Amino acid sequence: MQLGLVGLGKMGGNMAERIRRAGHEVVGFDRSSPKRDVDSLEKLVQALDAPRVVWVMVPSGDPTRSVVRELGGLLSAGDIVVDGGNSKWTDDQLHAQELGAKGIGYLDCGVSGGVWGLQNGYALMVGGDKDHVATVQPIFDALKPPAQTDESGQELPAAGFVHAGKAGAGHFSKMIHNGIEYAMMQAYGEGYELLEATDLVDDVPGVIASWTQGTVIRSWLLDLLVRALDEDPQLDRIRGYAEDSGEGRWTVEAAIEHAVPMPAIAASLFARFVSRQDDSPTMKAVAALRNQFGGHAVRAVAAQEAERPA
């Protein structure tokens, strides 16, 4: 099968390679990558045989909207656009409507796998029309993890791919996946901090590594934490600063909209905001209040810090 791929960064570049290894043809375009096969979206479309399939892997928001809009002016009825980035599901609904008016199909595909996807395969959550999904299925099959078998050698039900529902369902599912990821990482991080805080435990990395086999909290994320501690046992080389790419916020917003209680994910999102503050104003207020009502001691700002200009 032939595929146009827009965006050849860490994810897109590896996906292109995995698809090629499966025997498909990929025509890649990226505005800055030297790995590109063509130097414009127009030339990418011209290089593909109709009906065309173009997969978009660029940052969510305006970059994706711009590419989809431009493709809408270049493609023809019967072609299909797949957004494999981290777009908000409401954007997918608009894109499906706008492209559908021109006879162009649209699929949203939440992709998980990170930089390890080239080796291990990617989990794919797809939204859109079932006929369009069927057209792109050979590419989905190339990207997803290989089939697993049970102890008798019998192939297990397909995993790593799902047609989640109508337009927007794929990115909505991936959004919730990432919200869960926020909470899991926060729990592992808090456990690590408490282990480091006590003088009872001599081998913190060893304890965490021991959890990777036979326990109910084992996971790939835990394996990655072990890897990080192998490289930097005290995590001295990195700051405790964590960005949020949007999906955590959207997950909490959706929870509010649907009145679904989501305290763990919400707390993990707000913890990331705290990580960006060198001296949290919130905790200053808490300390001041504790001092006012209970006479609890507060830690004064060092004189040299107090003298710094605002």
Structural contact between residues 143 and 57, judged by C-beta atoms closer than 8 angstroms: no
Closest CA to 192 of 149, 221, 150: 221
CA distances (Å), origin 59, targets 38, 44, 114: 20, 19, 14
In the chain, the N- to C-terminal Cα span, in Å, equals 61
Query: Which positions ≥6 away from 281 have C-beta within 8 Å?
Result: none
Nearest one of 10, 27, 9 to 139, comparing CA atoms: 27
Helix (H) or strand (E) holding 186: helix 169-197
Helix (H, G, I), strand (E, B) or coil at 242: coil
User: Which tokens belong to 213?
Assistant: 């086999």
DSSP state of 125: E
Residues 41-74: b if buried by 16+ CB within 10 A, e if exposed: beebbeebeeebbbbbbbebeeebbebbeebbeb
Cβ neighbours of residue 28 under 8 Å, at least 6 residues apart? 4, 5, 6, 8, 12, 13, 16, 35, 36, 37, 38, 44
Q: Do 170 and 84 meet the contact criterion of CB atoms below 8 Å apart? A: no
Q: Which of 102, 144, 166, 174 is catalytic?
A: 174
| Catalytic annotation present for 10 | no
* Residues with catalytic function: 174
